Structure 1
Amino acid sequence: MKFTEGMWCLQEGIRIDWMSNVERLSIQDESVHLLLNKAQRNRGDTLNSATVSAQITSPLEGIVGVKLVHWAGQVDRGPHYELHTSKGHTKISHDKNENKLSYASGPLHLGVNAAPNELDFVFSSPSGKKLTGHSWRSIGYVGDQRADKYRFEDGIYAERQGYMLAELDLGVGEKVYGLGERFGPLVKNGQTVDIWNEDGGTSSELAYKNIPFYISSKGYGVFVNHPGKVSLEVQSERTTRVNISVPGEEIEYFIVYGATPKEILKRYTYLTGKPGLVPSWSYNLWLTTSFTTNYDEETVTGFLDGFRDRDIPLGVFHFDCFWMKSYQWCDFEFDSDMFPDAGGYMQRLKDRGLRISVWINPYVGQASPLFEEGKTNGYFIKRTDGSVWQWDFWQAGMAIIDFTNPAACAWYRRHLERLMEMGVDSFKTDFAERIPVKGVTYHDGSDPTRMHNYYALLYNKEVFETLNARVGHNQGLLFARSSAPGGQKYPVHWGGDCESTFEAMAESLRGGLSLMLSGYIFWASDIGGFEGTPPPALYKRWVQFGLLSSHSRLHGSSSFRVPWIYGEDCSAVLRDCVRRKIALMPYILLEALRGHASGTPLMRPLFLEFPDDLSTYTIDTQYLFGSNLLIAPVFSEDGEVTFYVPRSADDERGKWVSWFDHSKSYESGRWYTETHDFDTMPILIRPGSVTPRNPALKAPQDDALTGIELLVNGQLSGETVLDIVDPGQTDQVLKTLRVRHAADGKMIEAEGHSVKIVHIGL
């Protein structure tokens, strides 16, 4: 939110009390407490003005938090994000003569200038280089008389809307990334970003997954620990700052240090939660009924027969909304008119070797048989007068499950368990963005505004933990649309409603990469686009891209996404892409296990992998799939694609090599323009890398070791250690392979298992 008109003037109706002085300072255990006030010329300046209490803490090594409080008398009704903390990693010193405070957490240092009227915060790296901080007029309390509660006739008692404002410095050339799944440019400089979940599709500034965490190219991240609405002006109000404001009386942020972007993500996910793992079968191709299409058992069976007859591997079938009767979402009952033998049909699908997913949301329409039960037992969010909150936007008379009520959670869980007993393996947890904030109450008394974004966490957590309680740890998964900080613990997430255009395909990739810089490691998009019907060229290009995402789902709105509708050549492209992904399962499972431990996503922007190559920092049309494969999707009907090959320390070990033609190599640090038919695209193998694959696999969950081979590009630097992950338990390792050059320096040998080695790029 903008409060100023340029450097010198405030917007009409705005007052800001700027903090310029440290009135007093105390050290307590591992925290520092400061009382901040305006510039002090004499003792009279302590009167009739605001103060801000600042507390400096460190929840984990390499992370420093600053909490700024104006009025401390507010009622804290929650909710709060769950953060992991530890002790014993801070060093604090106070030089009273110089009025300097030093606060260190591992490699991260905060210096505070406590000299009279010289308030200054400087966060710095181990080398002493400034990362960010608070310079002149950058901590303030804002009073806004333009708010509804301001009444001029109340005189000196007139209430303004209050905001806490923290402005963090940006350096020359510094770039900002992340803030959740945002579909605009990957670099956020110049943008205004509101952290507020909305159902806005993929073609606007609104987002389903708003995460108040950003990464700077300068070597740090910022997490704003506030579940309500957080507004960020990223070089869009002050061109030298990120201005962060929240309504209310306090704000808390954490600076997360990292020598590399990967290290920042590792620390951030240690703070907010390590990303969850998913079962191997989920990496197979998913097919849905699409949204508003007409379908019944005969329709679904025809689709499945079509995949079987064309030898296209298919692992999961998803029933979207209309598996339930219209107006009854959600009643968790198959529409008996369309599926008269739902239990029997589930078994027939299982007999085909398929996993089953069904669409749900946290809403109950008034026509649902469950509405009266939920109303009687108090399972829904209520209005302040005690009635059920309802509206007609989406489902007629719909109510919203109150997941702060343990009884409502147990009730919801029983319906999910009943479906799992029928054979359902996963749930698409759609919606949870349209959560009201005015005139409503929660069972536990939570602040409705703070619950708006947080609600998605409660919803996805409830469903995810219900699944895992039945199938085992790391064996359940969702297909979720909305999220909030910590939501990476409950995978998988998909990109929401995109159009069937090349531009929407590109914006979907940007959204995915942005989310991957926000602590998430898995992501998918609606292959072919959701709204509209894709032309065959777009369908095939999105298939290529979608099958090189962590998860791959064919889904549309009013038209089906089975390939032969668009031409049998589309079936051939889909078959090849699915087979390639299945063959890559040893590599994908390895990269997922590493991401679970480190927060490094499967799909990653180039700068995350190559931070020393400055040319990578603005690229958002290509990505690394894992650490070894460079992917450049084709966003044009004629097949022309321009892509960049990054520089790295690996260059001395060889050149990047084409996945499709191992005789074709690429120089690092160069741009290339190529034209590809639909049987290829730019997939480049990193020099000095070892990529495990298994062409013998028929499905992701099959035996990982029989038929495994190692694709080695160029010369290796020492020994490469590869964990072959158990497809039956994706957090376990079957074998550890050690790959190195033999004594002659040319041949490659592997220890730990008999394996075929394919050595390219010589």
Structure 2
Amino acid sequence: MILNNNKNEFEISINGVSVIKHSSENPFIFIGKGEANYDMYRGNFKITDYLEERIPLKNFEVTKNEKNHFEINLFDHHQLKLTLIGKQKEGKTKIYFSSEDKFDNRIWIRIVAEEDEKIYGCGEQLSYFNLRGKNFPLWTSEPGVGRNKNTYTTWQADVKDKAGGDYYNTNYPEPTYISTRKYYCHLESTAYLDFDFRNKKFHELQCWNIPEFILFETGKTFLDIQEKLTANFGRQPKLPEWVYDGLILGLQGGTEVVLDKLNKALDAGIKVSGVWCQDWQGKRITSFGKRLNWNWKWSPEEYPNLDVEIKKLKERGIKFLGYINPYVIEGYDLYEEAKANGYLATKLDGSDYTVDFGEFYCGVVDFTNPKACEWYKNVIKTNLIDFGLDGWMADFGEYLPTDCKLSNGLSAEVMHNAWPAMWAKINYEAVKEAGKLEEIVYFMRAGFTGTQKYCTLIWAGDQSVDFSLDDGLASVIPAALSVGMTGNGLSHSDIGGYTSLHGNKRNRELLLRWAEMAAFTPVMRTHEGNRPDDNYQHDGDIGAMKFFARITDIYTSLKPYMKTLVEENTKYGIPVQRPIFFHYENDLRSYDIKYQYLLGEDLLVAPVHQEYMEKWNVYLPEDNWVHLWTGEEYTGGDYEVSARLGYPPVFYKKNSKWKSLFQEIGAK
């Protein structure tokens, strides 16, 4: 870490990478005041800001400049002052912020940029992988339906539901990015943020409070940077062994229906590792479709004899998974217990606070209250783990309203982004205390800083059941790549998507295309969707079931290879699904490819994400590649290849040590 300064300017560089340049003509930092307004409707936020002032801190005084430590005072002509304290330890450079004005609640920080630089990360981004040229508000929320203001679906969702979304809306944002200048940057704050990568000369990081610090760390390669980033945030534990043994089949409708569909799937040759029944605690029917009863315990009415059948399923090698989220429904015993003990967030005056989740209302379990955390962990341990569940969807986390009162006295506006990681920690500690880490898998869509080490598996959220780029099948590919570069190397998606609204209905081709892609991801799991009767399902016809039988056979055959990739993620933080440039840094084309990925180092996957395709264009980096299904050999370049259903464009390295396994799979 080097601070070079004279009377008029200073520059901070880390291992030869310039990150901050400041002069009175081009200050790198601005502070100010603003008043935000948050309008939330069912997890969708409309956020506006009344900006009172934005003041550049042009003047500076270096008060200390020693090896691995510096202090700088920045101020304007009114003596509005901000102090920077830079420290370097174990390769990490942290610059701490200290403001004497308690009314300052806006800051803008400019980081040195280059015109041809690429930027990745910022949590899970579904529309863009290279973030250069766009700004990204970072606020956990529902991602929206359609996520493209130019589409009819998004327009309909905005008009009717206030739920259309845009390119930046995501369940899992994070103020962390990786630059092709070979460093990562993290801003430590849970307030509303906006990372703007549109300027040619600088990246401007906006934060709606004074952050604790900004962190930089450099690396020689992207694999090196990824290992350092994940060492800082923590790494996901390994997946349970049983996950690799087949499809997690998403079913609902009660014990008899589930067992009947499971048996038919097995009879058709579909390899099934578990059944996931999100309605295990009962269902509710709303205008949105089939929803769940949010009182987290087994419903004997909906699932008679489930306590016995779970044991029988385990004997057959089939796991049972359920569902939970961090809210409790009004009028049921968990809500009443939480309310009586003061475990729920309240209105600012201390009265009851409930959130509208779509024609039903729930209390918010207050995770800033240690007693509430212990209570909710016991709900998970008793009602889920002790009952026999081997996993669950740990849903939501992004709904904390900004106008509630929390036990720790901090503003809910500042705690909103922190909530998903706190929810992940509750699940992690419940499983760990039960002695079930790497036996149980729970999957989450919401996240923020700190989620990495507490979440066993990410899922991409509620995609539309279509081929749209921003919210359909295609969107889960950059989602996996971006969230992987933010430190979550284990992710997957609902096979077939979830959301059927405004005329969207899942067809056969979409489901099968999604399934063939999912075979080349860490976990395969289906979802019937919010309107199961409107959507094509895995058992829609005998041909579809035979398709799933073959695809699950391919997935399970990859088990030895997949396990090594998951172990790499746990040991080194290297994601299972990787951008091409992770292993081909000199290939300039690869830095802008967002709909292809490497599965480990030896497989390249180019999913078919549009309908009616018999051929598909792929790009291969310079190497010797073999087409998985035909055995035809290729070198680097652009190719048009066959893309018939069930045979997605997948290539393996000719010299791979896994060659015999891949040849065996290619013959299926």
TM-score by length of 2: 0.82
1:71 to 100, 105, 108: 100
1:573 to 547, 552, 567: 547
Matches of 1:373 and 1:442 in 2, distance apart? Answer: 18
Equivalent position of 1:313 in the other structure: 271
Equivalent position of 1:288 in the other structure: 250
Equivalent position of 2:108 in the other structure: 165
Task: Give the C-alpha shift of residue 571 in structure 1.
Answer: 1.7
Equivalent position of 1:742 in the other structure: none
Query: Is the contact made by 2:344 and 2:363 (CA closer than 8 Å) also made in structure 1?
Result: yes
Query: Is the contact made by 1:535 and 1:566 (CA closer than 8 Å) also made in structure 2?
Result: no
Please give the residue correspondences for 1:214-613 in structure 2 after superposition, counting only pairs within 5 Å. 214-235=177-198, 238-250=199-211, 252-283=213-244, 284-289=246-251, 295-321=253-279, 323-326=281-284, 329-394=293-358, 396-418=360-382, 419-438=384-403, 440-489=404-453, 490-503=455-468, 504-532=472-500, 533-555=505-527, 556-559=529-532, 564-613=538-587
Query: Is the contact made by 2:189 and 2:211 (CA closer than 8 Å) also made in structure 1?
Result: no
Query: 1:455-499: per-residue Cα shift (whole Å, max 9, x none)?
Result: 111111111221233244433321111111221212201011111
Give the secondary-structure state (helix, strand or coil) at the position aligned to 2:491: coil
Task: Give the C-alpha shift of residue 18 in structure 1.
Answer: 2.1
Letter in 1 for 2:347: R
Query: Is the contact made by 2:629 and 2:666 (CA closer than 8 Å) also made in structure 1?
Result: no
471-480 or 259-268: which moved more? 471-480
Query: 1:232-256: per-residue Cα shift (whole Å, max 9, x none)?
Result: 1111xx3422111112234521122
Equivalent position of 1:51 in the other structure: 81
1:673 to 634, 640, 645: 640
Equivalent position of 1:659 in the other structure: 628
Letter in 1 for 2:273: G
Letter in 2 for 1:288: G
Query: Is the contact made by 1:328 and 1:369 (CA closer than 8 Å) also made in structure 2?
Result: no
Q: Does 1:642 align with 2:617?
A: yes
1:23 to 39, 61, 69: 61
Q: Which has the larger radius of gyration?
A: 1
Query: Is the contact made by 1:659 and 1:683 (CA closer than 8 Å) also made in structure 2?
Result: yes
Matches of 2:210 and 2:543 in 1, distance apart? Answer: 60
Equivalent position of 1:697 in the other structure: none
Letter in 2 for 1:543: A
Please give the residue correspondences for 1:718-729 in structure 2 after superposition, counting only pairs within 5 Å. none
Q: Percent identity?
A: 23
Equivalent position of 1:615 in the other structure: 589
Structure 2 residues without counterparts, runs of 5 or longer: 1-25, 33-48, 148-165, 285-290
Task: Give the C-alpha shift of residue 610 in structure 1.
Answer: 1.4
Query: 1:667-707: per-residue Cα shift (whole Å, max 9, x none)?
Result: 11x01112322231211112432128xxxxxxxxxxxxxxx
Letter in 2 for 1:222: C
> Structure 1 residues 476, 469: CA separation in 2 closer, same or farther (over 3 Å shift)?
farther
Query: Is the contact made by 2:188 and 2:211 (CA closer than 8 Å) also made in structure 1?
Result: no
Give the secondary-structure state (helix, strand or coil) at the position aligned to 2:492: coil
Letter in 2 for 1:665: E
The count of residues paired between Structure 1 and Structure 2 equals 584
Structure 1 residues without counterparts, runs of 5 or longer: 1-6, 39-44, 75-158, 693-708, 713-756
681-690 or 467-476: which moved more? 467-476
Matches of 2:436 and 2:51 in 1, distance apart? Answer: 56
Give the secondary-structure state (helix, strand or coil) at the position aligned to 1:575: helix
Task: Give the C-alpha shift of residue 198 in structure 1.
Answer: 0.1
Query: Is the contact made by 2:195 and 2:206 (CA closer than 8 Å) also made in structure 1?
Result: yes
Matches of 2:313 and 2:171 in 1, distance apart? Answer: 32
Matches of 1:243 and 1:626 in 2, distance apart? Answer: 33
Matches of 1:559 and 1:57 in 2, distance apart? Answer: 55
> Structure 1 residues 372, 210: CA separation in 2 closer, same or farther (over 3 Å shift)?
same
Letter in 2 for 1:360: I
Task: Give the C-alpha shift of residue 587 in structure 1.
Answer: 0.9
Query: Is the contact made by 1:539 and 1:570 (CA closer than 8 Å) also made in structure 2?
Result: no
Matches of 1:564 and 1:233 in 2, distance apart? Answer: 42
Equivalent position of 1:209 in the other structure: 172
Calculate the aligned-residue CA RMSD, in Å: 2.7
Query: Is the contact made by 2:120 and 2:129 (CA closer than 8 Å) also made in structure 1?
Result: yes
Q: Does 1:35 align with 2:9?
A: no
Task: Give the C-alpha shift of residue 17 in structure 1.
Answer: 2.8
Letter in 2 for 1:196: W
> Structure 1 residues 634, 52: CA separation in 2 closer, same or farther (over 3 Å shift)?
same
Task: Give the C-alpha shift of residue 565 in structure 1.
Answer: 3.6
Matches of 1:358 and 1:550 in 2, distance apart? Answer: 19
Task: Give the C-alpha shift of residue 322 in structure 1.
Answer: 6.0
Matches of 1:564 and 1:394 in 2, distance apart? Answer: 28
Query: Is the contact made by 2:506 and 2:536 (CA closer than 8 Å) also made in structure 1?
Result: no
> Structure 1 residues 300, 175: CA separation in 2 closer, same or farther (over 3 Å shift)?
same
Matches of 1:68 and 1:27 in 2, distance apart? Answer: 16
TM-score by length of 1: 0.72
